[in-house]
Amino acid sequence: MLTGIPSSVFDFLHDIKANNNREWFSENKERYLKQHAIVVEFADELINKMQTVDSIETPSGKKSIFRIYKDVRFSKDKAPYKINIGGSLTRATKYLRGGYYFHIEPGNCFVGGGFWAPNPDDLKHIREQIAADPQPLREILASKEFITHFGELQGEKLKSAPKGFDKNHPAIDLLNFKQFLLMKSFTDEEVMKDNYLESLFDTFKAMRPFFDYMSEILTTDLNGELIV
């Protein structure tokens, strides 16, 4: 059972950052596949643990890991490969909102979750629900567990009040969010420890009150009735 990310994964990521070209990658393809398989095994263990506390529709570690190949068509940086390995876990059914993400990169390891780019209708609905009663969200954000793991809610914000909302609304600090993200950083050394899987599991579990709140407000109307 793999419960931490071995140093060999970090060694490979260090090397691809210094040699981000197709010739080097082709010569080291087998090495990459070996490290990729290690992270897939770790992700399988993570999914199995998460299924004990949540409903995850991501079927396997292999399906959770993002490709290392970059789409450089619209990017100024034409380096063909990512210098990190990341994976995501999606919650099942339309009634369980939010998703989990882990990111492995030398000097920049973190986990995250939340709502990266809610569609306009969902964003408007979230804001209307918060405006009607911001207290449940404030209580989650002020909880000891939330602050211990994540500090504060993160994400891009508007500089002025969103259209249709009073700039003097007492929850304007929450209504201005365009994204709703939870983030926690880990050192490389922490990721390589045998207890990293448990630390990651605990961090994801700490996201649940926020996810449960967002799932509820996104699937009900302002009267609390289920949206069919």
CA distance 126 to 140: 15
- Identify whether 21 is part of a domain: yes
| Res 228: pLDDT | 63
Number of domains forming the structure of the chain: 1
- Identify whether 225 is part of a domain: no
- Identify whether the C-beta of residue 182 lies closer than 8 Å to the C-beta of residue 153: yes
Spatial strand order of the sheet with 99-104 comes to 85-90, 99-104, 109-115, 180-186
| Res 72: pLDDT | 76
157: domain CATH number?
A: 3.30.930
- Identify whether 35 is part of a domain: yes
Q: How far is CA 37 from the centre of its chain?
A: 21
Give the Cα-Cα-Cα angle 38, 4, 152 (nearest 5 degrees): 115
CA distance 214 to 114: 9
- Identify whether 41 is part of a domain: yes
- Identify whether the C-beta of residue 147 lies closer than 8 Å to the C-beta of residue 206: no
Q: H or E segment at 184? A: strand 180-186
Cα atoms in the 13 Å half-sphere on the side-chain side of 120: 2
CA distance 5 to 106: 12
pTM above 0.75, yes or no: yes
| Res 224: pLDDT | 87
| Res 77: pLDDT | 82
DSSP code of 157? B
> Range of 68's domain?
7-218
Digits of tens for pLDDT over the chain (228 positions)?
899 999 999 999 999 999 999 999 999 999 999 999 999 999 999 999 999 999 999 999 999 999 999 987 777 888 999 999 999 999 999 999 999 999 999 999 999 999 999 999 999 999 999 999 999 999 999 999 999 999 999 999 999 999 999 999 999 999 999 999 999 999 999 999 999 999 999 999 999 999 999 999 999 999 889 986
Query: Which among 28, 87, 19, 31 has a CA at the least distance from the CA of 59?
Result: 87
- Identify whether 223 is part of a domain: no
